[in-house]
Structure 1
Amino acid sequence: MKFRNALVAATILALPIAAKAQPIGGWYIAGGAGANLMLNENVKINSVSGAGGSGHFKSTVGPAFDLSVGYGLGNGLRAEIEGLYTYNSFNGVSGGATGGGQEQKFGGFANVLYDFVGLSPYVQPYVGAGVGYLWAKEASLHIDTPAFASSAANDTEGSFAYQGIIGAAIPISGAPGLALTVDYRFVGMTGDRNYSATLNGGAARYKLDNNYNNIFMVGFRYAFGAPAPAPVAPAPAAVPASPVSRSYLVFFDWDKADLTTRARQIVAEAAANSTKVQYTRLEVNGYTDTSGTPQYNQGLSIRRAQSVAAELVKDGVPKSAISIQGFGETHLLVPTGPGVREPQNRRVEIIIK
């Protein structure tokens, strides 16, 4: 299928400009355009005289558009409200009859999606499902056979709808928060819809039931407040090692900034040893693993450094001699991908200089 091949090509072409994939934490907007391959739609014609018939309309490929607003929890889960519009023409009827018309669908969905964090550094697959309500507006519906001629008035009927979604997001390098999205969705409408019609000049109605759609979309998504990529640090200039520099590592439980018993022992050891050397300052640097959003991790690394600094002061180190920094999920002790809970990366380093 040409359109499906185009989606694959768009994904491949976007990879050279892709940035590191990160879970969304906060508000975002998204929109896309694509094609709707609507399956044949069943129709039954009934008149007050008892005449009628049945068959199905054959549809052509038509355009589809969507727009959504959502919120990400920072752990891969997202919830959003989406508006959807599709248009298809009918170019024939089964059973040798002639006929045609047009159908427009429009409405909204409440969707829940999950981004698979850590599967790939540059492409983030996602799946989702949604429920909502769609209106189907029929125009110029008509079916003609040797036995009868019928037509339906322009009319709009609605019903509950559902959808399943599978796709991938490719963050764009140089534009924090912006990502190219490619997805497929299956959309269905429930129940029957009845439209007023005429049959051989008399009153009748068209009853349309199944309405199934295969929609392929390409679009963009923008997450508000996404952090800028960390600049590549230049290679540090070589400096002679200080003979009195000494460092201590204090580790933390996941998503915690309070000190364990073992952590307090290490801080006490660092405080005691600082009195045995002539130091100019104590650097207290906090770090996290890659689970959680970069913004949250930055704050957590600072809180961990503050906990260690407070314990150093309690153990006799002058507060004025301590400098505190938080580095978030940068400078990993154990290199990992995004979204990984690595105990050795959840640490504070005390450096005595």
Structure 2
Amino acid sequence: MKFGFFSAAFLASTIVNAAVPIDGWYSTLFGGYSYLPNNLNVSYAGYLLTNSSFNSGYNAGGRFGYKSNPLRFEGEFTYIHADVAGFKINNVKQSNEGGDASVPMIMANIYYDFPEIIQSIEPFLGFGIGYSWVDVDFTSATPSPNIIYNNSNSAFTYQGTAGLTFNYAEHFSLDIAYRYLGTDKIGYLGKIFQANLFTVGATYRFDGNRYK
């Protein structure tokens, strides 16, 4: 009971003393869960490869930017990885498949921070454009003959973001976000590459004295 009381008191004190950012430089580190939908519909060596699925993946990266309330402008690097769970060859599901998708990307983003919904909690929306290096690898031995399909290329990339920021201290904040990203159609995949990212980030503000 005492632990619960002191935890609640600490949280309340943190919120009361939290800072709302006005402007300044910042950097962010983040990571989280990645879900990749079907990104494959291509002919290769006389076979039709389709219906890819992936295991739960991860993403990690960093951002550096400037906030001029209510806007934020930043550069971002993200790395996405997920292992292949399955795919079809000539509409036959493979039973001994493997492979993965690895995607480093560089983005330029702009965000709009909405007014607080409760003290120190700000919703935000964002949009970004940039380039990704999409590297995919699909392998299968059964029931079809051995197939090894590996290719990579760069592609124009866009993303949309929605999330919440918790400004818990003058120099620091935490955020949770959902991001959807897509690319131009990639020839060796026969489709656009897409990913759904769920992230948690921690931000350090360099210009703490410029925050109220």
For Structure 1 versus Structure 2, the TM-score category normalised by the shorter chain is 0.7 to 0.9
Task: Tell me the amino acid that sits aligned with residue 97 of structure 1.
Answer: Q
Task: Tell me the amino acid that sits aligned with residue 33 of structure 1.
Answer: G
Q: Distance in 2 between matches of 1:68 and 1:40?
A: 28
Which residue matches 1:227?
209
- Displacement after TM superposition at 1:125 (Å): 1.1
Matched, 1:149 2:149: no
Indicate which of 196, 214, 218 corresponds to 2:200: 218
Q: Distance in 2 between matches of 1:37 and 1:214?
A: 5
2:116 and 2:123 in contact (8 A); partners too: no
Indicate which of 79, 86, 89 corresponds to 2:80: 86
2:19 and 2:168 in contact (8 A); partners too: no
Which residue matches 1:38?
36
Aligned residues between the structures: 198
Once the two structures are superposed, the pairs formed by residues 66-81 of structure 1 within 5 Å of their partners are 66-73=61-68, 75-81=69-75
Task: Looking at secondary structure, tell me which structure has more helix per residue.
Answer: 1
Once the two structures are superposed, the pairs formed by residues 281-320 of structure 1 within 5 Å of their partners are 294=212
2:87 and 2:94 in contact (8 A); partners too: yes
Once the two structures are superposed, the pairs formed by residues 200-211 of structure 1 within 5 Å of their partners are 207-211=189-193
Residues 55 and 118 (structure 1), Cα distance of their counterparts in 2 relative to 1, 3 Å cut: closer
Matched, 1:131 2:129: yes
Which residue matches 2:4?
none
Report the 3-state secondary structure (helix = DSSP H, G, I; strand = E; otherwise coil) of the residue aligned with 2:40.
strand
* TM-score scaled by length of structure 1: 0.52
Percent identity of paired positions between Structure 1 and Structure 2: 25
Cα deviation 1:216-236 (Å, max 9, x = unaligned): 1111011222239xxxxxxxx
Residues 31 and 83 (structure 1), Cα distance of their counterparts in 2 relative to 1, 3 Å cut: same
Q: Distance in 2 between matches of 1:102 and 1:81?
A: 26
Task: Tell me the amino acid that sits aligned with residue 138 of structure 1.
Answer: V
Report the 3-state secondary structure (helix = DSSP H, G, I; strand = E; otherwise coil) of the residue aligned with 2:109.
strand
Higher relative contact order (CA 8 A, sep 6+): 2
Matched, 1:55 2:34: no
- Displacement after TM superposition at 1:144 (Å): 4.6
1:93 and 1:100 in contact (8 A); partners too: no
2:87 and 2:93 in contact (8 A); partners too: yes
Cα deviation 1:180-238 (Å, max 9, x = unaligned): 111111111211142xxxxxxxxxxxx3423211111111011222239xxxxxxxxxx
Choose 1 or 2 for highest CA Rg: 1
Indicate which of 169, 179, 185 corresponds to 1:185: 179
Q: Distance in 2 between matches of 1:28 and 1:90?
A: 36
Cα deviation 1:44-74 (Å, max 9, x = unaligned): 1233xxx22131211011110120010111x
Unpaired stretches in structure 2, ≥5 consecutive residues: 1-7
- Displacement after TM superposition at 1:143 (Å): 3.7
Q: Distance in 1 between matches of 2:178 and 2:191?
A: 23
Question: Runs of at least 4 residues of structure 1 off by over 6 A?
Answer: none
Report the 3-state secondary structure (helix = DSSP H, G, I; strand = E; otherwise coil) of the residue aligned with 1:190.
strand
Task: Tell me the amino acid that sits aligned with residue 169 of structure 1.
Answer: T
Q: Distance in 2 between matches of 1:60 and 1:220?
A: 26
Q: Distance in 2 between matches of 1:63 and 1:122?
A: 28
Unpaired stretches in structure 1, ≥5 consecutive residues: 1-11, 195-206, 229-292, 295-353
Q: Distance in 2 between matches of 1:190 and 1:71?
A: 28
1:158 and 1:193 in contact (8 A); partners too: no
2:94 and 2:144 in contact (8 A); partners too: no
Which residue matches 1:265?
none
Q: Distance in 2 between matches of 1:161 and 1:215?
A: 14
Which residue matches 1:97?
94
Q: Distance in 2 between matches of 1:65 and 1:168?
A: 18
Cα deviation 1:67-118 (Å, max 9, x = unaligned): 0010111x21111000010110002114422322011100211000011124
Cα deviation 1:165-193 (Å, max 9, x = unaligned): 111111224xx220011111111121114
Which residue matches 2:165?
169
- Displacement after TM superposition at 1:43 (Å): 3.0
